[in-house]
Structure 1
């Protein structure tokens, strides 16, 4: 899973529209990851196609997305994988 997909799924642990997802990604990544509209909407389309997110509401100008159960499982699996990597690399603390 790409970093952008991970953060987008993490942002969608609370349903939201595209602009809200972009803001949450920026906040969750500590400002390190800024996602533009083209990247985000391409990613949302892909995640929807893969069944990771679903459209929950649609207004005149905004579509609201939320994680599906499959999306939650994928996010949790990736979190666990990343956590293992960090724990494995902890041996580098103090390494010169």
Structure 2
């Protein structure tokens, strides 16, 4: 199982998309709203759909049938596992940084 770091500049948007989809399927605009609430920044369409395409290529997310001219996506089981690994890695890095700040 490869990680999200291979997505380069799309790794942060990819993590946010996957976190958004962990709560259930969403279409692009709903993901933008959810990510804006979660991270305080709304990803632009180019960033969002570029990351979505890369996540689909890796089978971390999948498109569902269109609903009212909107294309929802959901997190796959592989995507859920990759997201869990990435979030634990991020937590370990943040914990190490906070420990160093406390000592300094």
Correspondence for 2:58: 50
Structure 2 unaligned regions, length at least 5: 5-10
2:14 to 5, 10, 21: 5
Higher strand proportion (structure 1 or 2): 1
Q: What is the alpha-carbon root mean square deviation over aligned residues?
A: 1.3
Moved over 6 A (4+): none
Look up the SS of the partner of 1:51 in the other structure: coil
Q: Distance in 2 between matches of 1:3 and 1:46?
A: 12
Higher helix proportion (structure 1 or 2): 2
1:16 to 15, 20, 26: 26
Q: Distance in 2 between matches of 1:60 and 1:39?
A: 23
TM-score by length of 1: 0.88
Structure 1 unaligned regions, length at least 5: none
Aligned residues: 93
